Amino acid sequence: MIAESKRVLLVLIVVSLVGISTATYLYLRFFAAMEQMVCRKVTVAEAKAMIESNPSLLIIDVSSQAEYEEAHLKGAVNIPLSDLSSRMGQLDRNSAILVYCRTGGRSAQACFVLVERGFTKVYNMEGGVAAWINSGYAVVTGKST
Tell me, what's the pLDDT at 27?
A: 62
Strands 96-100 and 77-78: unpaired
Tell me, what's the pLDDT at 111?
A: 95
Mean per-residue pLDDT, 73-85: 97
- Judge whether residue 90 has pLDDT over 60: yes
**Quick one: what percent of the chain has pLDDT higher than 90?**
66
Q: Check 60, 84, 97, 101 and give the catalytic one.
A: 101
CB 122 within 8 A of CB 39: yes
Tell me, what's the pLDDT at 143?
A: 82
- Judge whether residue 33 has pLDDT over 80: no
- Judge whether residue 4 has pLDDT over 70: no
Tell me, what's the pLDDT at 137?
A: 98
Tell me, what's the pLDDT at 16?
A: 73
- Judge whether residue 35 has pLDDT over 60: no
Tell me, what's the pLDDT at 32?
A: 55
Question: Which pLDDT tens digit goes with each residue over 53-71?
Answer: 999 999 999 999 999 999 9
Query: Which are the contacts of 58, defined by CB distance < 8 A and separation ≥ 6?
Result: 77, 91, 92, 95, 96, 97, 98
Query: Which are the contacts of 133, defined by CB distance < 8 A and separation ≥ 6?
Result: 71, 139
Is 101 annotated as catalytic? Answer: yes
C-alpha span between 60 and 56 (Å, rounded): 12
Question: Which pLDDT tens digit goes with each residue over 6-18?
Answer: 666 667 677 677 6
Mean per-residue pLDDT, 42-56: 97
Question: Which pLDDT tens digit goes with each residue over 113-126?
Answer: 999 898 989 999 99
